[in-house]
Structure 1
């Protein structure tokens, strides 16, 4: 994970990029882009093609532009899904977040891309591996995928119940029946004992701190994708109010957008 992150601040809307995805126009935008929608932000990445997004519902359904109207402003009229995957060049796919993890994936051989909204519920449902499987069905190979996780709430400050942590953690144990069968308390103890643990202690009884991005990284590693093909942004939405909206911090329904363009 030696790739660097850069702020593009020479436009009206600042956004974060990573050299891991330098071949693809992409950006993790900040609160300064609110209330602009992807059809406007798409222009900041270059080009004037359509922007595709879905109605996010914290699930694991994946759609393609063939399932979506382009540049549609009415969210309630969009099909429900939490990942959008390209099927042709110059398709811009987008997700919005306000503590959940925005994940952008690109294929170095096919040029196809995907944008994923991975909150704890979607992560528990394996939204990232599900999307990768659909990319594989479309011709991708794991060795050719590059994955970037943008700004999200950090595990050090994300307090959840032990049950939620266990529910998310079970997404890592599908191949180990003995671990999957543990009760919530013992499963969380197992996760806390891992190297670079995705679950951290909390002083409040029945609570722990959950690192959703680390869970996703472990899911990706479990598929066989090398760590050097995965990047995690060094930014926390909860702890950086000057840059990001955080639903956990303010309970406001405001978001920042993340998008990537296929090539």
Structure 2
């Protein structure tokens, strides 16, 4: 899947990939790219190769070892060996495809086409709350990007009706900023609330002064197209697949 605001940028290729079009079987069917899953490593490798081919990348898409942190790392060549622990990658090097993997958290792709700088961030609630979006933009600026030119698009992530949280979760956000009340709706379960992760993420992006948009798609509700950690948990399934969102500058 592509978004018009990124698709129209010169020299930028991107894709928010679904779970479809791969070779994995069973609960991982079919384009599972999660190396942290228990899927057949050969299937994951083939799926990642298909993603790279779709982007026109000679190397597999570089993804970090995601740990729900606020850390963004800048690279100038495809990652090899042990992946760095971070939750965003930034590059200004043409031909280096970067991405993040998700299964409910928000994948955000960034681009300043004029500067030739791109970024990919994994924004779950912890990352968004602790500054992963801001740090990705700062890393892009260090390479010459200007935030007023940066386009940022939030890909498929869990939607508010499917994201129930407990009172301690709400308290954490409201203690940080009383205005965060607006991201919570009432739940049928006493003391719980429904969290608008997408709305919160977009608000933080817009506060940075970048051009922010979203695909507006829910991973939990759309089982045909997306993996979902929470859906898997609710069903008591043993594991789950991950989809990838990736971006690259043309050679």
- The TM-score bracket by the shorter chain reads 0.7 to 0.9
The reply on whether 1:79 has 2:66 as its aligned counterpart is no
Counterpart of 1:141 in structure 2 is 146
| Contact persistence 1:102–1:115 (CA under 8 A) | yes
Q: CA shift at 1:199, angstroms?
A: 1.7
Counterpart of 2:231 in structure 1 is 249
Counterpart CA distance in 2 for 1:166 and 1:223 is 24
| Contact persistence 2:74–2:89 (CA under 8 A) | yes
The reply on whether 1:48 has 2:48 as its aligned counterpart is no
Counterpart of 2:15 in structure 1 is 27
Counterpart CA distance in 2 for 1:68 and 1:46 is 14
Counterpart CA distance in 2 for 1:62 and 1:212 is 20
Counterpart of 2:35 in structure 1 is none
CA RMSD in angstroms comes to 2.0
Counterpart of 1:18 in structure 2 is 3
- Which of 223, 236, 239 aligns to 2:221? It is 239
Q: Specify whether residues 100 and 238 from structure 1 end up closer, same or farther in structure 2 by C-alpha distance, changes over 3 A only.
A: same
Counterpart of 2:159 in structure 1 is 154
| Contact persistence 1:39–1:50 (CA under 8 A) | yes
Counterpart of 1:4 in structure 2 is none
Count how many residue pairs are aligned between Structure 1 and Structure 2.
220
Structure 2: segments with no counterpart, 5+ residues: 21-30, 33-43, 234-238
Counterpart of 1:211 in structure 2 is 196
- Post-superposition Cα deviations, 1:5-29, rounded to whole Å, max 9, x if no partner, equal xxxxxxxxxxx10111113211111
Q: CA shift at 1:67, angstroms?
A: 8.2
- Post-superposition Cα deviations, 1:9-54, rounded to whole Å, max 9, x if no partner, equal xxxxxxx101111132111111122245544311111242452111
Q: What TM-score does the superposition give when structure 1 sets the normalisation length?
A: 0.77
Counterpart of 1:90 in structure 2 is 95
Q: CA shift at 1:198, angstroms?
A: 2.1
Q: CA shift at 1:108, angstroms?
A: 2.5
Q: Which segments of structure 1 move beyond 4 Å, counting only runs of 4 or more? A: none
The reply on whether 1:102 has 2:107 as its aligned counterpart is yes
Q: Specify whether residues 167 and 37 from structure 1 end up closer, same or farther in structure 2 by C-alpha distance, changes over 3 A only.
A: farther
Counterpart CA distance in 2 for 1:255 and 1:68 is 21
Q: Specify whether residues 17 and 168 from structure 1 end up closer, same or farther in structure 2 by C-alpha distance, changes over 3 A only.
A: farther
Counterpart of 2:132 in structure 1 is 127
Q: Secondary structure at the match of 1:258?
A: strand
Counterpart CA distance in 2 for 1:27 and 1:169 is 34
- Which of 167, 180, 183 aligns to 1:198? It is 183
Q: What TM-score does the superposition give when structure 2 sets the normalisation length?
A: 0.81
Counterpart CA distance in 1 for 2:47 and 2:77 is 19
Counterpart of 1:112 in structure 2 is 117
